[in-house]
Structure 1
Amino acid sequence: MSADLSYPAAPFSEAAEQLRTEVRAFLAEELAGVPPLVRAKSWNGFDAAFSRKLGARGWIGMTWPTQYGGHARSNAERYVVVEETLASGAPVAAHWIADRQSGPLLLRYGTEAQKQRYLPGMAAGETYTCIGMSEPDVGSDLAAVRTRAEPVEGGFRINGTKLWTTNAHNAQFMLLFCRTSGTPADRHKGTSQILVDLSLPGIDIRPITDLAGERHFNEVVFDDAFVPADALIGAEGNGWEQVMSELAYERSGPERFLSSMALLVEMTRLLGTTPGDAAEAAVGRLVAHLMTLRRMSRGVAAMLENKQDAGLHATIVKDLGALFEQEIPDIARQLIAVAPNAPATREFGKLLAYTVASVPAFSLRGGTREILRGIIARGLGLR
């Protein structure tokens, strides 16, 4: 093996555990009466008012410097807020991408003017971003990107298409990964990142309806869209290095194993206190997997806080997390007989149906399973 795959233990933080109590009390009040089916949507649930409430409490941009609207709190405290909001099924989609990766990317690579302009709104839960990575016929092979931002006088002229762009129809800005020089044959060379104002002319956001009949995804078409030069994030041509650092944030968080949490909670509730040996074994195995993934995810968070390269570790969390999330509805169907007209299981049946329709996307978002396992194999020196 050519890589150290040990996951460091996340340090205990008394402040973080005190915060957990506060967050749980807030969520219990905010989500009182919200049915499991709505909670199941969590990080696809767009609620601007809820995001503003989190921002007002200082629970977005928690680790960012105070001069940019952040709160200079620990990564452990931020992890508590993310974990608790997802586990409870809170609607976090509005601020999610900005808090998780667009903000940290700007902190690392952005100019002072960019930080001052964008970060305070993100931390307040009022500025929303989406990610322009995947493309038609490209998928998770980011190095094959074809969307082009041609340098012109005063800025860039963008042409191309982005696909599966979550919440582009609700976001004000897109963090666009594109090619500013060369061709797709150059692979990692000649790529850049640009923060695009989605209200500009020449940008068409088209809905994509998922299997559950909902709109989270979009196709975004750029037709000679002009953006000013100061929209460039970092150095022109440094896009590949930047996007790889961004993906470590995207692939390692609790969202990679908590997407089916509402179903797991309801399944456990219905099984009751005497579920039988088979159900006890199945739920026990799921909980053991959940605790292991949580330990790994918190280890990646510790690595990121210590400025260590966590790309491979994050990729493993993402791959194993998707397997766990996709397994839960299969086990639920085996353990609980759902009769459409039975009052005891009617709502559970709706929740199960929604989760079954949602799980195919779990192994696509953040990188397809095949791409991720290729990355893991390369990191282990196996290819």
Structure 2
Amino acid sequence: MTSLDFPVPQFTPELLALRVEVRAFLASARANGSLVPGGGWSRFDPAFSRKLGERGWIGMTWPRRYGGHDRSALERYVVIEEMLAASAPVGAHWIADRQIGPLLLSHGTEEQRRTLLPRIAAGECYVSIGLSEPGVGSDLAAVQARATPVPGGYRLTGTKLWTTRAHSSHYIVVLCRTEGERGDRHAGLSQLLVDFTAPGIEIRPIIDMTGSHSFNEVRFDEVFVPDAMLIGTAGAGWKQVTGEMANERSGPDRFLSSFAVLEQMVEAVRRQPSAEGRKVIGRIVAHLAVLRRLSLSIAEMVRLGQDPTVQGALVKDVGAVLEQEIPQLARELFALEPSPGSSDALSSTVGSMLLAAPSFSLRGGTREILRGIIARGLGAR
């Protein structure tokens, strides 16, 4: 059985200075009312995204010729960690910055990069992802959406589920079959960049258990997609999308979703100290520290040009367990009745988080899928 390497991240005085700068920005934004905490990477606030774009905090690692800033993966990590810890509303640019930019840098055409990346880095272009489908679950290789080659491009027909912020995005990257049959599994899949202004697209809202609307069902009915919107190589979509998923799974967003609950738990235990409270808080913080170290190691792997697919799956799996556990631990520790919208801040936050928690082990790949990736990486299957 092989072992997994998690390299030691290289911290510098510049990283500390950047963290101080980001915290000062967030404190100022909170003071002047331009930052209303809540929602984090699921909350859509274009004005806030544009402010981050102006400061160079979107597309940080991308080349300057595409609107990026040639900064390191660890510098980017510092910024997104501080944004998530503050529950800053970064949802407008989040997916485009985390996944679509790296995808286009790796596989996109020069025209695609020149057209989209500067706008994404400015916080002015938002992109959704079309992976999951009805009846397919987490088996992406079984997607049924099909793009038939026609003169000048493709005709796309199919349905995508759980498309975060599709109703607010300019584009969607769709994984679909462009050749072969469904039984071909990984062969014949491609990624298309689809403009939401194209005729034949219907977006239906999916309201989650918290009552919020970030998910959607998107239907494509013979939507024409020009050849120029094919990302990478036709038929190579499976390899491309698995690399893209590594970016989705390894960041601090995979263990900080319940951070607001932890902060309120700490404050409550400070007001009313107890041995049990210290024990619960200590265990959560210890787990969080380990996850953060592993996640930082993945940022270091990216900096070194290494493949973090297996390590990212591990961080995402273990992180989702902790994220789901924190609100339940708060409920048990304080014997509170979770109630979204309650005047009691902890009760309200725990209530909202308990409703959202089931999605933590679904988004970015279910637990079973992730553990299969880890097992293969360890040579156990």
> Under TM normalisation by the shorter chain, which class is it?
over 0.9
Residues 244-323 of structure 1: pairs in structure 2 closer than 5 A: 244-272=242-270, 275-323=273-321
Aligned counterpart, 1:200: 198
Cα displacement (A) at 1:351 = 1.0
| Whole-Å separation in 2 of the counterparts to 1:311 and 1:195 | 23
Map Cα deviations across residues 189-221 of structure 1 (whole Å, 9 max, x no partner).
001111110111011010000000111110000
Q: CA deviation at 1:274?
A: 5.3
User: Which has the higher mean CA deviation after the structures are superposed, 229-238 or 11-20?
Assistant: 11-20
Question: In the alignment, residue 345 of structure 2 is paired with which amino acid?
Answer: E
Find the counterpart in structure 1 of residue 13 from structure 2: 14
Cα offset, 1:40, TM superposition: 4.2
CA RMSD of aligned residues (A): 1.8
What is the identity, as a one-letter code, of the residue corresponding to 2:263?
V
Out of 68, 85, 92, the position equivalent to 1:94 is: 92
Residue identity matched to 1:182: G
Q: Deviations over 1:172-198 (max 9, x none)?
A: 000111111011211110011111101
Q: Report what 1:24 is aligned to.
A: 23
Deviation at 1:363, TM superposition (A): 0.3
Question: Would the aligned equivalents of 1:31 and 1:90 in 2 still touch at CA under 8 Å?
Answer: no
Aligned-pair identity in percent equals: 56
CA distance, structure 1, for counterparts of residue 140 and residue 175 of structure 2 = 9
CA shift for structure 1 position 338: 3.0
| Shift in Å, 1:32 | 3.9
How far apart, CA to CA, are the structure 2 residues paired with 1:307 and 1:161? 35
Gaps of 5+ in 1: none
Question: What SS does the corresponding residue of 1:90 show, helix, strand or coil?
Answer: coil
Secondary structure of the residue that 1:194 maps to in structure 2?
strand
Does the CA contact (< 8 Å) of 2:331 and 2:337 recur in 1?
A: no
Counterparts of residues 62-101 of structure 1 (less than 5 Å): 62-101=60-99
SS in structure 1 opposite 2:10? Answer: coil
| Partner Cα separation in structure 1 for residue 374 and residue 146 of structure 2 | 29
1:241-298 deviations in Å (ceiling 9; x for gaps): 1101101100000000000011110111111165211111110010010010000001
- Residues 188 and 240, structure 1, Cα contact 8 Å, conserved in 2: yes
Alpha carbons 2:331, 2:338 under 8 Å: kept? no
Give the Å deviation of 1:169.
0.4
Could you tell me which runs of 5 or more consecutive residues in structure 2 were left unpaired when the two chains were aligned: none
CA distance in 2, matches of 1:376, 1:251: 13
Q: Report the secondary structure of 1:201's partner residue.
A: coil
Q: Is the 8 A contact 1:13 1:76 kept in 2?
A: no
What is the deviation of 1:302?
Answer: 1.1
What's the CA shift for 1:6?
A: 2.2
Give the letter for the 2:25 counterpart: F
Partner of 2:327: 329
Q: Return closer, same or farther for 1:339/1:294 CA change in 2, 3 Å cut-off.
A: closer
Scaled by the length of structure 2, the TM-score of the pair is 0.96
- Which amino acid letter does the alignment assign opposite residue 156 of structure 2? I
How far apart in 2 are the matches of 1:99 and 1:314?
17
Q: How far apart, CA to CA, are the structure 2 residues paired with 1:185 and 1:309?
A: 28
Pairwise CA distance, 1:4: 3.1
| Letter aligned with residue 16 of structure 2 | E
Q: Which residue number in structure 2 is paired with residue 359 of structure 1?
A: 357
